[in-house]
Amino acid sequence: MFHIALKMLFGDPGKYLGIITAIALSSVIMVQQPAMLVDMLSQTYGTISDISLPDIWVMDPGVKSVDDSKPIQDTQLYRVRGVRGVEWAVPFYKGMQKVRLENGESAMCQLVGLDDSTLIGGPAVMLKGRLADLHIPDGVIVDESGARGRLAKRACEECPPVPIGVGDILEFNDTRALVVGVARSTPSFMSQPVVFTTYSRAKTLALSERKMLSFVLAKAKQGEAPEAVARRISAETGLTAYSSEEFKQASLEHIVKHTNILVNIGFVVLIGFVVGTAVTGQIFYNFTLDNLRYFGVFKAMGASDRTLLGMILLQALLVGFVGFGFGAGATAAFMHATAGGPGPQAKLTWQLLLGSGGAVMFIVLLAAFISARKVLRLETAVVFKA
Amino acid sequence: MEPTNLIPAVSCSGVTKAYGSGDTRTVALRGVDLEVRQGELLMLVGPSGCGKTTLISVMAGILDQDAGQCSLFGQDMKRLTPAQRTAFRGRRIGFVFQAFNLVPTLTVADNISLPLLINGSPRRQARERSIACLAEVGLAGREDAMPSELSGGQQQRVAIARALVHEPDLVVCDEPTSALDHTTGLAVMDMLKNLVVRGGRSLVIVTHDSRIFHYADTMAHMDDGRIESVRPGAATGEHS
């Protein structure tokens, strides 16, 4: 009887497409909005994710997240290096600076200063130039979304932006900086352009500050747990030290706690889920209601409740899979088409697809359950009504 | 032991059935006694609301009676579990409905094959049997047509083919000619009589249509939930 269930479904293309469209649109909301949320939340610790080599972050005790910079004295670097279990430690500068573009406009950017000799903390993916080019005098590397976005050149107000590239000049506090590379990095939560340079050059480019060391990046010796070494650093230096994972968690919690991002986007996701449930449920329920008489005929002819339930479940699962496939596919295509632009990007992860797919399946199974109840409780004698 | 062909197709005694409760309680059947012999065409006639449809629903094991006994081919339907009753109905009863009840999104062959598929026949076998049955009702070659492409008379013929495809012992028809013109109605009745009764099966027809009364072996008149009379029909002895 299962092929009969499918023929009943496909036999009414209008309704079939209606259900598929409703589920696809619900899926778009349930995939796209959480994907945005996942990306925005992951941006809260994007810098930590991008810097994979060190496994310990040391900072001022007042720092709450990776975007929250409270510089410490350069001498703290040596104290960290002296703690037992630390393999190596390097300085890391991260601060907001105003950059002046060639056309005279200015923009805020995130200036990142890497250890001069090792360049630890630099971007992993170079699109143009090499990381080592930072050793070129005045050299800086800009991130891709910044190069195409806020740092892009405009010949006039209406002219299309032209991404800056190798050879272009930027200016920080009247100090010249030469773009020597373009890199791909996780955008910051505030979506500011990121400009990488050496630690010593960052000190030159940044406004004169008494303390410049934002973080000390350290590596635990082999066999030492980063968390244990971090505790040791904290105890011996009075600074806060986290393992990378701990710092990611702390940064995430800080943003979630101090912004309404989770509530606002979570609300949209919830609305999407509720609307998706209502629309999909209603359409599928109506589809079953339209066929109620025929299910009654099947019952009169001897179809068991199990057979009828199987038919309805099959119809529900099929429209669920197809609808979700279209919805998730359309969302992925949209994300691909808009990828690389400035601002938050949606991030489609397998966990997200699994979760939203599960939610869609829940919706269709709920609709199937409600429809099936109607069918199973149907008084078979209805078939004798004209 | 009683020979099989002497066992009545349907035997109802003292069957009562009411709907609702309290002030809204409506008694549809008030102690109905009725028997349908094997190979007999019984017509159940009476005014609207007299309980005809309720009675055939009880006969077919679709509705449970409140009191009394109703057995099909010696099987007391109330003694069966709902699942057993459904399976029994699927094997031994065929239905023809007033509104045809053909699934509009299925082809004619798919509609006819439904009882076979419900009873577990393989698809191919069900289709072959459906096509053969379609030829028997004079619609050879229309197996892939959709119900909406057929006239009312043709749709009722498809419904008859669907009722007979699994070779049931009893066919229950609810107003089979009411939606058809006179000529088509008579053609449908000829077909029913030929295929069902002359095939040794029993046929119970609920009808208001006096134009087809002459086909009956037995006429049972109902009124207000009771069988008022059971008389031999005009066709009695025609095929004995």
Helix runs in B48-181, H state only: 52-59, 82-92, 108-118, 123-136, 152-164
B186-229 pLDDT, tens per residue? Answer: 877 887 787 776 777 888 988 888 888 888 888 899 988 888 88
Inter-axis angle of helices A305-338 and A13-43, nearest 10: 50
Q: Give residue A346's pLDDT.
A: 65
**pLDDT confidence bin for B239, thresholds 50/70/90:** very low
Q: Give residue A208's pLDDT.
A: 65
Of B97, B106, B118, nearest to A384 by CB-CB distance is: B97
A210 touching B, CB under 8 A? Answer: no
A270-301 pLDDT, tens per residue? Answer: 887 787 777 777 777 887 788 887 888 888 88
Chain A nearest C-alpha distance from B237 (Å): 30
Q: What is the mean pLDDT of chain B?
A: 83
- Per-residue DSSP letter, B5: G
Which two structure tokens, joined as six digits, stand for A180? Answer: 């020597």
Of B99, B115, B175, nearest to A301 by CB-CB distance is: B115
Say how many CB pairs under 8 Å bridge A and B.
83
- Per-residue DSSP letter, B176: T
Q: How far apart are CA A324 and CA A345, in angstroms?
A: 21
Tell me the residues of chain A between 245 and 304 that have a Cβ less than 8 Å away from chain B. 291, 293-294, 297-304
Question: How confident is the model over B26-30, as a mean pLDDT?
Answer: 87
Which two structure tokens, joined as six digits, stand for A272? Answer: 């999407």
Chain A nearest C-alpha distance from B1 (Å): 29
Q: Give residue B133's pLDDT.
A: 83
| CATH among 3.40.50.300, 3.40.1800.10, 3.30.1490.20, 3.30.465.10 for B4-232 | 3.40.50.300
Of A8, A302, A307, nearest to B89 by CB-CB distance is: A302
Domain residue ranges of chain B, discontinuous segments joined by +: 4-232
Question: How confident is the model over A202-224, as a mean pLDDT?
Answer: 83
Question: How confident is the model over B163-173, as a mean pLDDT?
Answer: 87
Q: Give residue A149's pLDDT.
A: 82
C-alpha distances in angstroms, B7 versus A149, B40, B90, B202?
90, 12, 20, 12
A312-364 pLDDT, tens per residue? Answer: 888 888 888 898 899 888 888 887 777 665 555 666 778 878 888 888 888 88
Q: Give residue B240's pLDDT.
A: 39
Nearest 10 degrees: CA dihedral of A281, A284, A290, A293? -90
Q: How far apart are CA B226 and CA B34, in angstroms?
A: 10
Predicted-complex ipTM score: 0.81
B90 contacts A386? CB cut-off 8 A: no
Which two structure tokens, joined as six digits, stand for A207? Answer: 């406004």
Which one has a higher pLDDT value, A312 or B99?
A: A312
pLDDT exceeds 70 at position A382: no
Q: Give residue A196's pLDDT.
A: 92
What are the two backbone dihedrals, phi and then psi, of residue B68, each rounded to the nearest 5 degrees?
90, -175
Q: How far apart are CA A296 and CA A274, in angstroms?
A: 31
Q: How far apart are CA B40 and CA B6, in angstroms?
A: 12
Q: How far apart are CA A310 and CA A331, in angstroms?
A: 31
A1 contacts B119? CB cut-off 8 A: no
Number of H helices and number of E strands within chain B?
A: 6, 10
Question: How confident is the model over A247-268, as a mean pLDDT?
Answer: 82
A46-69 pLDDT, tens per residue? Answer: 778 878 788 899 998 888 888 777
Q: How far apart are CA B188 and CA B198, in angstroms?
A: 15
* Rg value, chain A, Cα: 29
Q: Give residue A180's pLDDT.
A: 92
Read off the amino acid at residue A10.
Answer: F
Which two structure tokens, joined as six digits, stand for B169? Answer: 């012992």
Question: How confident is the model over B219-240, as a mean pLDDT?
Answer: 76
CB atoms within 10 A of CB A262: 16
> Percentage of residues in chain B with pLDDT exceeding 90?
3
Residues of chain B found within 8 Å of residue A10, distances taken between Cβ atoms:
105
* Rg value, chain B, Cα: 18
Q: How far apart are CA A220 and CA A225, in angstroms?
A: 7
Dihedral angle sign, alpha carbons of residues A44, A47, A51, A55:
negative
pLDDT exceeds 50 at position B1: no
Tell me the residues of chain A between 9 and 28 that have a Cβ less than 8 Å away from chain B. 10-12
Of B88, B99, B110, nearest to A4 by CB-CB distance is: B110
A380 contacts B62? CB cut-off 8 A: yes
Query: Nearest residue on chain A to B85, judged by CA atoms?
Result: A302
Q: What is the mean pLDDT of chain A?
A: 83
Q: Which of A105-119, B87-101, B174-188 has the lowest mean pLDDT?
A: B174-188
Q: How far apart are CA A249 and CA A236, in angstroms?
A: 23
